[in-house]
Amino acid sequence: MSRAWRIEYEGAYYHLMSRGNDGQDIYLSDEDRRLFLETLAEMASRFEVDIFAYVLMSNHYHLLVQTRLANLKKAMQWMGSTYTRRFNNCHGKTGHLFQGRYKSILVQNDAYVMQLSCYIHRNPLRAGIVNRLIDYPWSSYGVYAYDQKRPEWLSTELILSYFKNPIPQKQYREKVQRYAAEEKRLLEDLRHSLILGAQNFVEEIRRRFLPDTPHKEFPQQRQLAGDFHPEAFLVGISKALQVDLDRYISSKRLRGADKQNRDLMVYLLWNTGRLTNEEIGKLFGKSFSAVSHSVKSFKQKLDEDKKLKRQFEQLNSQFKL
């Protein structure tokens, strides 16, 4: 299974979301919701995380945060496991509460934070739960829009600083009310399902955090590295080798030079770091384990056969991404 790539640095902004396992509710009562917010407050204090906005839906939640330290994974792992344990204890349950890994989107700056807060607060309206957002008590909207009592752990200064009116809450309320037309423009700046921001911010993140060879288990690294079309890559390799790509893909058994050339193509594709073994297997009609065996075997051949190694290095240089 692929893993989620977490980009961490001091002062990073994130939009975070997590869903219940198999779509189940993660709150069964208002007591559970209060328990979740208490756990969230502990996480904020313990890991030095600023919470700007939140909404608790029936089977998922949204958070808008900034990590003062580069510790998102630690904070969210503690949050998920602690609330799950407390929830299970309250209801006599065991096992997982959340569905796999939480989703995190890196946010460029405070301007996007303000926009995202509007998007997050409108969730109950989009879901058809209420006709007026103020009627939904399980979000930070009332604090921003109607100056309701603010929990000590909720940081509102940043977002409200965008509204210079003597009554910023009124301006915020009006912005959220007309925000439906702006949501599409906001989502257009979501890049690679990983970053919300302008292209120059994406380039900065790529320069600072993307390794030279994207990790096979992190699809987001491969996406950020740029568009990659494995079929076109294989066509180029097959032309360089002067072989019939269709036959290599459709044939279950190849022998001699043909088998070595196909193994070379598999290895070149694997070496890009863009695809998992399972994805490579689908291209060649091979199983995950067959690809793993092919890669391992070909690595050994490269160490033993200098001529083959020179051929690999030449092709790898020619088709380097």
pLDDT digits (tens, 9 = 90+) for 222-240: 666 665 678 888 888 898 8
Task: State the average pLDDT over residues 184-189.
Answer: 73
For residues 246 and 312, membership in a common domain is answered with yes
Q: Beta strands of the chain (E only): which ranges?
A: 12-19, 49-56, 60-67, 103-107, 190-191, 195-196
Which among 171, 194, 221 is the end of a domain?
221
* Bridge partners, 51 (sequence order): 65, 154
Q: Give the separation between CA 294 and CA 262, rounded to whole angstroms.
A: 10
How many domains does one find in the chain?
A: 2
pLDDT digits (tens, 9 = 90+) for 282-292: 888 888 888 88
Residue 4 in any domain: the answer is no
In this structure, the number of other CB atoms found within 10 A of the CB of residue 228 comes to 15
The model carries a pTM of 0.69
pLDDT for 1: 46
61: containing domain: 12-221
CATH code, domain with 38: 3.30.70.1290
Q: Give the separation between CA 146 and CA 162, rounded to whole angstroms.
A: 16
Residue 207 in any domain: the answer is yes
DSSP codes of every residue in 53-106: EEEE-SSEEEEEEEESSS-HHHHHHHHHHHHHHHHHHHHT--S--B-SSPEEEE
> Residues 138, 127: contact at Cβ < 8 Å?
no
Average pLDDT of the chain to the nearest whole number? 88
Task: State the average pLDDT over residues 8-12.
Answer: 95
Identify the three-state secondary structure at position 6. Answer: coil
Which among 221, 246, 280 is the end of a domain?
221
Antiparallel, parallel or unpaired: β 195-196 and 103-107: parallel
